[in-house]
A and B are shown apart, each in its own frame.
Chain A
Amino acid sequence: METLSFLMQGFAVALTPESIMFAIIGAILGTLIGALPGLGPANGVAILIPLAFSLGLSPTSSLILLTSVYAGAMYGGRISSILLNIPGDEPAMMTCIDGYPMALKGKAAEALAISAIASFIGSFIATIGLVILAPILANFALKFGPSEYFALFALAFATLGGITGKNQFKTLMAAALGLMIASVGIDISSGVQRYTYNILELFEGVDFIIAIVGLFAISELLFFIEKHAGEGLKKVTVNKLKLTMGDIIAVLPTSFRGALLGFVSGVLPGAGASLGSFISYTLEKKVVGDKGTFGQGDARGIAAPEAGNNGAASGALVPMLTLGVPGSGTTAVLLAMLISLNVTPGPMLFTQNADLVWGVIAALFVGNLVLLLLNIPMIGIFVKLLSVPPKYLMPIVTLVASVGIYSVSHSALDLYFMVGFGVIGYILRKVDVPLVPVILGMLLGPEMEKSLRHALVLSDGDWGVLFNSGLSIGLWTVAIMGLLLPVIIGPIVRAKMAKSKTATE
């Protein structure tokens, strides 16, 4: 019951007026970020980090703000799936299948309301899962020595491409590039300068916040201009909401199943939210069988993937908080936030910064409730914003991103770096090299190298130490499976996902 008292303390933090204010602001911003075209959740959170930083918010407030943004972005992503048949992000793809047909039948408002309720249930159950599982995992991770940590980092990179990843070697290449960028600067343990070429600004290394904003926001701007996507999406209108208690009760069992499946796939390395929503949808179709009208606007077909992807989003916080190893792009950005606030994630977080962790977990509950309450009455406003063309929006986003970077150090040089990373991001996306492993490499590089060196110093240079405990062998096995499985079953899963999508069109 220790957990429960910690959680109560967390609520004491999360229910202060200041925290509630940040949760509300975060929830609104997050929904906007999720709903607006051209701004993914990772992108949106990345732009907000330097702002939170230069405002001098406390770690707890910044983290409450950004986790609410994260939760909100998952809500926002479904709006364009349902109304326009365009998924806001990849996990929202499955929501199109039943959401769009329902909108065509003139029941867009009901579809949006049901998805909001399912999202709430998904997040709520997964956050309870987080409360139960995180302390257990953190306790277990205290057993990890440097060689286990090294194996764990390797595992994080190996599974990052996910089961549905296309080219494992490109993920590997991206991770290597990120780790290489992280090695620039003065080596902490020996004082040797590495790749600094006597440029003073490089002595402290490359700031990953600048890199993240450049890689995501600036490259996105370049893609928008190239694709002439400035006009945006067509205008849509939403009917008046007519939802009965019966409708809500009908989707409850579906939402619960989706939430659990989503949570599990969020926690597991390499699965992630896309797989969470896919599995939830497929299972629901099997469970309901012929009684359902899946693909033609069945409410359960919206509830299942929405509960699944929100469950996975909260589940993904488990490895990020307890091990310091994020499993997705957005959680990687949240990790960047923690590191830049001098909070080291990992098992010690639960003992050293208990009030912060539990405050954030409690804030997730509060944020979700805020989101549910906001989403049903305010849906009309979000829908209106959806039709703001990117040609007006993207320049302003670029300006806000630049101001954020500029206000941290007041140096134009940081902005040059940001633009440079934007160009690199554009080229990498053109050759299909994923950006998330680059960022993860930059974030985890110093820790990964440190654990390798600790392990080898302790063993006096014997490389066998990396494989000498059952635990590290287990981690290496999972890592290798993470690299090999996508090659074998990846094409099958991807074909199935594509098939269920096209079958409805």
Chain B
Amino acid sequence: MRLNDRVFGMLMLILAVVYGWEAAQFPEPFGGEESVGPETFPIILSFFLGASAIYMMLKPDPDEAWPVLPMLLELISVVVAIMIFAWAIEPLGFIPAAVAIVSYLAWRMGASIKMSLIIGVSSSVSIFLIFNNVLELALPLGLLEF
């Protein structure tokens, strides 16, 4: 199967066309048209991207296998978990958020639940202490603030 490169090439071709078309729609800069404007370089780029995308569709390389569905869901869960961690730093505080994300990642990578929690707590607390006390970069305390 050589589907990956064909599909990806197609997506890139669409991107190249949209990108180039948008560049052509840029408003005329203040002070009138010049020989080179803000659209010149993007239009050149869209040609290069388009050309390499077409080549990729015509001469695709062999596929690397995509993860099967359960693995895909797992990877998505990891991505979502890091997003939640990013959101939670301020309302919940750095330490709770970091304990959760490190333990979750370690557990998903195959560590036992007990070890995951140990790693999560010890790394989060030590990074918090290093940042706040040694490097003097304040991280939010959140829930632990009292």
* Complex-state Cα separation, A222 to B73, whole angstroms: 12
Is the C-beta of A106 less than 8 angstroms from some C-beta in chain B? no
* Complex-state Cα separation, A391 to B48, whole angstroms: 41
Of A177, A448, A452, chain B has the most CB atoms within 10 Å of the CB of A177
Can you name the residue of chain A whose Cβ is closest to the Cβ of B76? Answer: A423
Choose among A395, A407, A432, A453 the residue that contacts B64 (Cβ–Cβ < 8 A). Answer: A432
**B93-132 interface code vs A (CB 8 A; 1 in, 0 out):** 0100010011101101111000100011001100100010
* Complex-state Cα separation, A352 to B131, whole angstroms: 34
**A414-452 interface code vs B (CB 8 A; 1 in, 0 out):** 011001001100110011110000000000000011001
- Contact B36–A452 (Cβ < 8 Å): yes
- Contact B40–A453 (Cβ < 8 Å): yes
Is the C-beta of A218 less than 8 angstroms from some C-beta in chain B? yes
- Contact A190–B71 (Cβ < 8 Å): no
* Complex-state Cα separation, A472 to B49, whole angstroms: 24
- Contact A228–B139 (Cβ < 8 Å): no
Contacting residues, chain B, for A427 (C-beta < 8 A): 8
- Contact A403–B127 (Cβ < 8 Å): yes
Choose among B29, B86, B109 the residue that contacts A395 (Cβ–Cβ < 8 A). Answer: B109
Is the C-beta of B146 less than 8 angstroms from some C-beta in chain A? no
Of A175, A190, A192, A412, chain B has the most CB atoms within 10 Å of the CB of A190
Minimum CB–CB distance for B37 against chain A, Å? 6
Supposing A391-B111, A412-B90, A430-B4 touch, asked if A177 and B127 sit within 8 A by C-beta, the answer is no
For chain B, residues 28 to 62, give those with C-beta under 8 angstroms from any C-beta of chain A.
29-30, 34-38, 40-42, 45, 48-49, 51-53, 55-56, 61
* Complex-state Cα separation, A195 to B42, whole angstroms: 11
Minimum CB–CB distance for B98 against chain A, Å? 6
Choose among A191, A392, A416 the residue that contacts B106 (Cβ–Cβ < 8 A). Answer: A392
Minimum CB–CB distance for B115 against chain A, Å? 7
- Contact B123–A192 (Cβ < 8 Å): no
Minimum CB–CB distance for B85 against chain A, Å? 7
- Contact B79–A403 (Cβ < 8 Å): no
Is the C-beta of A505 less than 8 angstroms from some C-beta in chain B? no
Is the C-beta of B82 less than 8 angstroms from some C-beta in chain A? yes
- Contact B137–A395 (Cβ < 8 Å): no
Is the C-beta of A172 less than 8 angstroms from some C-beta in chain B? yes
Can you name the residue of chain A whose Cβ is closest to the Cβ of B49? Answer: A176
- Contact A453–B36 (Cβ < 8 Å): yes
Is the C-beta of B14 less than 8 angstroms from some C-beta in chain A? no
Is the C-beta of A494 less than 8 angstroms from some C-beta in chain B? no
Contacting residues, chain A, for B19 (C-beta < 8 A): 180, 195
- Contact A392–B22 (Cβ < 8 Å): no
* Complex-state Cα separation, A387 to B94, whole angstroms: 29
Contacting residues, chain A, for B36 (C-beta < 8 A): 452-453, 456-457, 461
* Complex-state Cα separation, A456 to B53, whole angstroms: 28
Give the A-B pair count, Cβ closer than 8 A.
170
Contacting residues, chain B, for A449 (C-beta < 8 A): 41
Supposing A177-B49, A392-B111, A416-B83 touch, asked if A195 and B22 sit within 8 A by C-beta, the answer is yes
- Contact A398–B30 (Cβ < 8 Å): no
Interface of A is mostly: helix
For chain A, residues 392 to 417, give those with C-beta under 8 angstroms from any C-beta of chain B.
392, 394-396, 398-400, 402-403, 406-407, 412, 415-416
- Contact B115–A392 (Cβ < 8 Å): yes
Choose among A169, A194, A222 the residue that contacts B78 (Cβ–Cβ < 8 A). Answer: A222
* Complex-state Cα separation, A221 to B109, whole angstroms: 9
Choose among A179, A400, A431 the residue that contacts B8 (Cβ–Cβ < 8 A). Answer: A431
- Contact B110–A230 (Cβ < 8 Å): yes
Can you name the residue of chain B whose Cβ is closest to the Cβ of A189? Answer: B38
Supposing A173-B53, A395-B102, A407-B131 touch, asked if A430 and B64 sit within 8 A by C-beta, the answer is yes
Contacting residues, chain A, for B139 (C-beta < 8 A): 403, 406-407
Choose among A55, A166, A183, A187 the residue that contacts B135 (Cβ–Cβ < 8 A). Answer: A55
Supposing A55-B137, A403-B127 touch, asked if A194 and B42 sit within 8 A by C-beta, the answer is yes
- Contact A399–B78 (Cβ < 8 Å): no
- Contact A452–B41 (Cβ < 8 Å): yes
- Contact B35–A461 (Cβ < 8 Å): yes
Contacting residues, chain B, for A250 (C-beta < 8 A): none
Supposing A191-B29, A430-B64 touch, asked if A170 and B52 sit within 8 A by C-beta, the answer is yes
**A228-244 interface code vs B (CB 8 A; 1 in, 0 out):** 10110000000000000
Supposing A176-B49, A180-B19, A407-B131 touch, asked if A395 and B105 sit within 8 A by C-beta, the answer is yes
- Contact B102–A419 (Cβ < 8 Å): no
For chain A, residues 166 to 203, give those with C-beta under 8 angstroms from any C-beta of chain B.
166-167, 169-170, 172-173, 175-177, 179-180, 183, 187, 189-192, 194-195
Partner-A contacts on B (CB < 8 A): 4-5, 8, 12, 16, 19, 22-23, 26-27, 29-30, 34-38, 40-42, 45, 48-49, 51-53, 55-56, 61, 64, 66-67, 71, 74-75, 78-79, 82-83, 85-87, 89-90, 94, 98, 101-103, 105-106, 108-111, 115, 119-120, 123-124, 127, 131, 135, 137, 139
Contact sample, A vs B, 19 pairs, CB 8 Å cutoff: A176-B48, A180-B19, A183-B41, A183-B42, A191-B29, A192-B38, A194-B38, A195-B19, A225-B108, A225-B109, A230-B111, A392-B106, A394-B105, A394-B109, A412-B89, A415-B85, A419-B86, A426-B75, A431-B64
In order of increasing CB-CB distance, the 10 nearest A-B pairs are A461-B35, A415-B86, A395-B105, A230-B109, A190-B29, A391-B109, A230-B110, A173-B52, A176-B49, A187-B38
